[in-house]
Structure 1
Amino acid sequence: MARLRVHAFTITLDGFGTGAGQRVDAPFGDGVEGLHDWMMPSFRGEGTGVDDAAFRAGEQDIGATIMGRNMFGPVRGDWPDESWRGWWGEDPPYHHDVFVLTHHARPSLSMDGGTTFHFLEATPTDVLARATEAAGGKDVRLGGGVATVRAFLSEGLVDELNLVIAPILAGAGERLFEGLDALPTGYRVASLVPGGSGAVHVQVVRR
């Protein structure tokens, strides 16, 4: 059965997945400089060890992706037009169907390399059903942002949550586990492994 997996989702030591003031020139907001330093060697093809393994695990056996509107781009509210086509250029790294949760739907966007973005106003359960069908028997990856991952966790839909805890403090922004008081009843920590970068890799799975 297809699973819903989160990979390489990085939070600060005090639990923030983004800082305050997200915008075009600061996609993750302020106060979180260095949040993703652990994966930079892998982006350059120089990654090693636990950090590189965590970076690459999210590419394995994934047939579709779900993300929130904030992960797709900085535009808020009604789309003024359809000129924003994502952060990734004309050949995004997904190469499959990507389902973007939004309160402001727009036509699907086909990109180079086989990526098609679908913009849906739907519940987590409904969008997961769409993504699972599109995945064709493979797993579905759940991307950000923080509110999107939190919404799926609150409904117990995430099968595997692979977090990275960066050795920094933000103090403000969006906390991943905010309001998830019932999380321990449905999930458990399966492993906790330090990486070579100083970040810690944590796997959380459903009970």
Structure 2
Amino acid sequence: MPKVRVHNVTISLDGFAAGVNQRLDAPFGDGVGWGEELHSWFVSATRDAAAGKTSVDVEYFTRGDQNIGATVMGRNMFGPQRGPWQDESWKGWWGDNPPYHHDVFVHTHYPRRTLEMAGKTTFHFTDEPPQAVLRRAFDAAGGKDVRIGGGPAVIRQYLRAGLIDELHLVIAPMLVGRGERLLDDLGEGIDGYRVSELVGSQAVTHVVLVRR
């Protein structure tokens, strides 16, 4: 049965997944370590995977693309704009050929026209609730799994609703002190999960949560 999965979501040791004041020149926001330091493991794993190298980090990194047929994300992950779209010229952080190569559903209070990109990536903008978005995503995925790409607010929303089957967290050994926490305010939604994997590499610790 197809699953809802989250992969490669990096948090600091004190639980933060994004900084404050996210914007075009600071996609992850302000704060110590945002950007290169927090996500250095991801950059290294991407480079090593492309070179055919293997490691704990590469193994977990590559899992995130296996058997994924559609992706769901929040508007903050798609771009830096807030409020009504002033225009529709922004097409994401990833250039003309985004790395998804399938349908991507973007949660937003201000839907816009569907955006078709090179490489078979199509962005759909929706203000529907998570359950409705997942139905559309599973239809688009054609029997494959659906990935919740982020950011933190969207992941929390799906966790609170008990809609995620597998969540891969990456804990970086650094303290940030402020920003947006990933696992706050989940209520009883988190009770339905258990830790199935806890593996350390030289750079980070990988944790996988699955349904009980």
* TM score, norm. by length of structure 1: 0.96
Which of 36, 40, 43 is matched with 1:37 structurally?
A: 40
Q: CA deviation at 1:184?
A: 4.2
For residue 30 of structure 1, give the secondary structure of its aligned residue in structure 2.
Answer: coil
Q: Give 1:8's aligned residue.
A: 8
Distance in 1, matches of 2:105 and 2:59, equals: 26
Task: Give the letter aligned to residue 109 of structure 1.
Answer: L
Deviation per residue, 1:61-117 (Å, 9 max, x gap):
000000000000001000000000000000000000000000000000000000000
Aligned-pair identity in percent equals 58
Q: Give yes or no for contact 1:49–1:196 (8 Å, CA) kept in 2.
A: no
| Code of the aligned partner of 1:99 | F
Aligned with residue 88 of structure 2, among 70, 82, 87? 82
Residues in 2 aligned to 1:23 and 1:184: alpha-carbon distance in whole angstroms: 30
- The 1:184–1:67 alpha-carbon spacing in structure 2 relative to 1, beyond 3 Å, is closer
Deviates more, 1:176-185 or 1:129-138: 176-185
Q: Deviations over 1:145-168 (max 9, x none)?
A: 000000000000000000000111
The answer on 1:23 being equivalent to 2:29 is no
Task: Tell me the equivalent position of 1:122.
Answer: 128
Offset at residue 16 of structure 1 (A): 0.6
Counterpart contact for 1:18–1:173, Cα < 8 Å: yes
Output one character per residue of 1:140-196: Cα deviation in whole Å (capped at 9) or x when no partner. Answer: 010110000000000000000000001111111110111113244211111110012
- Given that 2:168 and 2:208 are in contact with CA atoms closer than 8 Å, whether structure 1 keeps it comes out as yes
Q: Equivalents in 2 of 1:184, 1:30: separation in Å? A: 28
- Hey, what's the Cα distance between the residues in 2 that align with 1:12 and 1:181? 21
Number of the residue aligned with 2:60: 54
Query: CA–CA distance in 1 between the matches of 2:201 and 2:129?
Result: 35
Structure 1 residue aligned with 2:182? 176
Counterparts of 2:20 and 2:88 in 1: how far apart (Å)? 26
- Is 2:209 aligned against 1:204? yes
- Of 111, 131, 138 in structure 1, the residue corresponding to residue 137 of structure 2 is 131
Task: In structure 1, list runs of 5 or more residues that go unmatched.
Answer: none
Runs of 4+ deviating beyond 2 Å: 42-48
Total equivalences in the alignment: 206
Structure 2: distance between partners of 1:165 and 1:41: 15
Shift of 1:5: 0.2
Using the TM superposition, give the Cα deviation of residue 42 of structure 1 relative to its aligned residue in structure 2, in angstroms: 2.5
What RMSD over aligned residues (CA atoms) do the two structures have, in Å? Answer: 1.1
What is the rounded CA distance, in whole Å, between the counterparts of 2:187 and 2:162 in structure 1?
Answer: 12
Tell me by how many angstroms 1:48 deviates. 3.2
